[in-house]
Amino acid sequence: MFSRSPARSPGSDGTWDPPRPWWRGRLGVLALVVALVALGTGVYSLVRPASTRCADGVAKVGPDHACVGLTDGSYAYSPDLASLFGLIHTENDRVRAAAAKPGGAPWVGVVYLMSMVQGPGSTNTTDSIRHELEGAYTAQWEANHTDAQGDSPQIVLLLAHTGATTAQRDYTLAQISRYRTADHVVAVAGLGTSTLATRSSIEQLTRQDLAAFGSVITSDDLIGIPGLVRVAPSNSDEAAAAAKYLLRTAPKAKVLLVEDTRSDDLYTSTLATSFRKSYPAGLLVDQPMAYDSSKSDVSTYFTQQMANVCLDAPDVVYFAGRGIDLPRFLAPLSHRQCADKPLTVVSGDDASQVGQSAGVGQVKDALRLGDIRLLYTGLAHPGAWTLRPQSFDATAIAPFQPGGEFRTAFPREALDDGQAIMGYDATLTAVTAIRNASSGGTAADTVTGADVVQMTTLLYGARAVSGASGLISLDSGGGPRNKAIPIVELSQDGSVHTVAVSSRDGDPPNAHP
C-alpha cells in the first residue's frame, strides 16, 4: 500500500538498505538544478570579460584600459576636455540637423587625430593638448558660420584619440576606416608629433586616399609623403632660423650642440642634424654632448657633463632635445663651476611645452641661479603679430584678437604655447582644400578624400593659405616655404615673449596684400 518500500533494519543476512538520497526525489532534483544554475551564474560572472565599450567608436584598449577611438564629441576622453567636446558635439549636431532639412547644406567629416590624454613620457602637456583642440574647434566654427572660405560643404569635426601604445593607435585608425563612409570623412588633421608612430599613422591614412594635415609635425623625415600637408616649418627651417638669428645678434658665438640620440624620435634626430648643417662648423664645439632620453639616469649624465661645459666655454648651447628634458639639463647647468659666465640656451619648438609643464618652477630657478637665457624657435606666438605685422594677415589672426571667436569661446586661455594657433591653421588649411574641391566642379555632397588631396597641390603663391601662424605657401614636399618663425624667450619669471621673427632665410614673407 505504500508508494515506496521503507528502509530495512539490518537483517539476518547482515545487509543494510540506506535511506533513499534526498536529491533523487522530485523536489531534490529541482533544488539541485536551482543550485547549479546559481553556481554557474556566479562562475560566469567571474570569468566573463569585462565590457570594453566606452562609447560608440570608443573602447578600452591595452593593459591600462585607456578609452581610445573616434567620437563626435559626445564622449570626452578626459574631464579636462569635457566642456570643449560639448561645444564640438553641439556644433556637429547643428550641422547634421541643418543638412537633414530640405535644401540643407551638405557636410563632410574632418578627423582631428592625436594623443588627447597626457601620459607617462608624453611630450605634450594637458594644457597644450586642450589648446590645440580649441584651435581646431575655432576653425570649424569659422568655417561653418562665416564665408571666408565659402560655405559648403559644412564641417563636422570628429575627435580621434590615439593613446600611447601601438594597439591603441591601431584601434583608433581602424575606427576611422570603419566610420569613414558613414561620417563622410575626407581629411585628417593634427596627426601628433614627429615620431615613427606618427609616420606609420600618416602612411595608413594616406593609403586610403584621405588627405592629411599636420599641425605641429616638423621632422625632415616626414617631408614628401604623398597626401601629407604640414603647416609647421620643418626642423631644418627652425635650425636655419635659429642660426640666422644667432649670426645676426652674436656673429662670433661659440655653440655647443646637445643632442638626443633616441632612435624613435624623428624630431630630435633631425633637429640636431639640421642645426649642424646651418651653423658655421668653425663656431661649433668639436664634441657634441649626446644623450639618449629613452635610457635611465639622464639627469646624472647631465650633471657629470658640466665640467666639460666649462672646459668648452661655449657662448650658446643648442639643445636638440624635447622640452620635457630641459629641466633635467638646466638644473645642473645652473650649478656649473663657470656660472659666472652668462650662457644662452636655444632650442626647438618643443620647448614651448616647458612654460606649462610640472618642471617650469625648476626651469625658472635654473635661469635665475645660473645666469641663463632660454630661447626657442616657436611655431607660433601672438607676440610675432605685433613685432612683424607685415607677415601676418589681419583677417587670419582676427579669431584670436579681442572679440574674435577664440577669445569669445575661451576667454581664459593663453596662446603662448602656439598650439591653439597651429591647431587652427591645420584645420583651416584642410577646410580650404575641401572648399576648393567643392568649388572646382565637384558637388559639395560628393567631395572625396582624393579630391581634397588633389586640391592641396594648389595651395601656394596666389592661392597660399593666410594662416594665423603666417603665410602657408606649400612647396613640392608639402611644407610651407620660408615660413615665419618667432624667436621666443621664456624669462626667469616664467613670462613668454617674442624677441624676433625669423625664417629659413632670415626674412619671412609678407602676408597677401
pLDDT digits (tens, 9 = 90+) for 458-485: 999 999 999 999 999 999 999 999 999 9
Cα angle, residue 341 at apex, residues 335 and 345 outer, rounded to 5°: 75
Residue-level pLDDT at 512? 83
Taking alpha carbons only, the member of 457, 461, 440 closest to residue 152 is 440
Q: Are residues 392 and 291 in the same domain?
A: no
Is the pLDDT at 228 greater than 80, yes or no? yes
Q: How confident is the model at residue 417 (pLDDT cuts 50, 70, 90)?
A: very high
Strands 58-61 and 66-71: antiparallel
Q: Helix 82-100 vs helix 126-145: angle between axes, to the nearest 10 degrees?
A: 20
Residue-level pLDDT at 25? 56
pTM: 0.89
Is the pLDDT at 315 greater than 50, yes or no? yes
Taking alpha carbons only, the member of 289, 413, 423 closest to residue 345 is 289
Tell me the C-alpha to C-alpha distance, in Å, between residue 292 and each of 45, 264, 268.
47, 11, 10
Is the pLDDT at 123 greater than 80, yes or no? no
Is the pLDDT at 20 greater than 70, yes or no? no
C-alpha cell at 55: 562609447
Q: Are residues 275 and 258 in the same domain?
A: yes
Residue 196 CB neighbour total at 10 angstroms: 13
CB 273 within 8 A of CB 194: no
| Residues 248-276 pLDDT 10s | 999 999 999 999 999 989 999 899 999 99
Kindly state the average pLDDT of the residues 170-179: 98
Q: Are residues 221 and 327 in the same domain?
A: no
The residue with cell 601672438 is: 382
Residue 502, in any domain of the structure: no
| 5 class by beta-carbon count within 10 Å (0-12 exposed, 13-18 middle, 19+ buried) | exposed
Residue-level pLDDT at 17? 46
Q: Are residues 270 and 323 in the same domain?
A: yes
Residue 68, in any domain of the structure: yes
Chain centroid to Cα 226, Å, comes to: 21
Strands 53-55 and 58-61: antiparallel
Full domain range(s) for residue 229 = 54-233+386-481
Residue type, 426: A
Cα angle, residue 148 at apex, residues 89 and 430 outer, rounded to 5°: 60
Kindly state the average pLDDT of the residues 179-201: 96
How long is the chain?
A: 513
Taking alpha carbons only, the member of 371, 370, 373, 369 closest to residue 319 is 373
Residue 466, in any domain of the structure: yes
Q: Are residues 223 and 242 in the same domain?
A: no
Tell me the C-alpha to C-alpha distance, in Å, between residue 346 and each of 111, 316, 341, 352, 361.
34, 7, 16, 12, 19
- 213: alpha, beta or left? (left if phi > 0; alpha if psi -120 to 50): beta
Is the pLDDT at 457 greater than 80, yes or no? yes
C-alpha cell at 238: 627652425
CATH of the domain at 244: 3.40.50.2300
| Residues 431-444 pLDDT 10s | 999 999 998 666 77
Total domain count, the chain: 2
C-alpha cell at 290: 649626446
Can you list the alpha helix ranges (DSSP code H) found in 335-380?
A: 360-369
Q: Are residues 114 and 194 in the same domain?
A: yes
Q: Are residues 73 and 106 in the same domain?
A: yes
Is the pLDDT at 294 greater than 60, yes or no? yes
Residue 509, in any domain of the structure: no
Taking alpha carbons only, the member of 175, 154, 180 closest to residue 91 is 154
Q: Which helix (H) or strand (E) holds 501?
A: strand 496-502
Residue-level pLDDT at 122? 73
Is the pLDDT at 33 greater than 60, yes or no? no
Instruction: Count Cβ neighbours within 10 Å for each residue of 423-439 and write b for 16 or more, e otherwise.
Output: bbbbbbbbbbbbbbbbe
335 three-state secondary structure: coil
Is the pLDDT at 56 greater than 50, yes or no? yes
The DSSP code for 281 is G
Q: Are residues 335 and 418 in the same domain?
A: no
The residue with cell 590645440 is: 132
Q: Are residues 201 and 291 in the same domain?
A: no
CA distance 236 to 276: 10
Taking alpha carbons only, the member of 115, 102, 244, 240 closest to residue 168 is 115
Residue 3, in any domain of the structure: no
CA distance 207 to 200: 11
Q: Are residues 211 and 307 in the same domain?
A: no
Residue 58, in any domain of the structure: yes
Residue-level pLDDT at 443? 72
Q: Are residues 241 and 226 in the same domain?
A: no
Residue type, 7: A
Residue-level pLDDT at 34? 53
CB 146 within 8 A of CB 193: no
| Residues 499-510 pLDDT 10s | 999 999 999 999
- 224: alpha, beta or left? (left if phi > 0; alpha if psi -120 to 50): left
Q: Are residues 107 and 161 in the same domain?
A: yes
Residue 220, in any domain of the structure: yes
Residue 394, in any domain of the structure: yes
Taking alpha carbons only, the member of 278, 201, 246 closest to residue 375 is 246
CA distance 166 to 115: 12
Chain centroid to Cα 77, Å, comes to: 14
Residue 109 backbone dihedrals phi, psi, to 5 degrees = -100, 135
Residue 491 CB neighbour total at 10 angstroms: 14
Tell me the C-alpha to C-alpha distance, in Å, between residue 455 and each of 33, 429, 440.
69, 11, 9
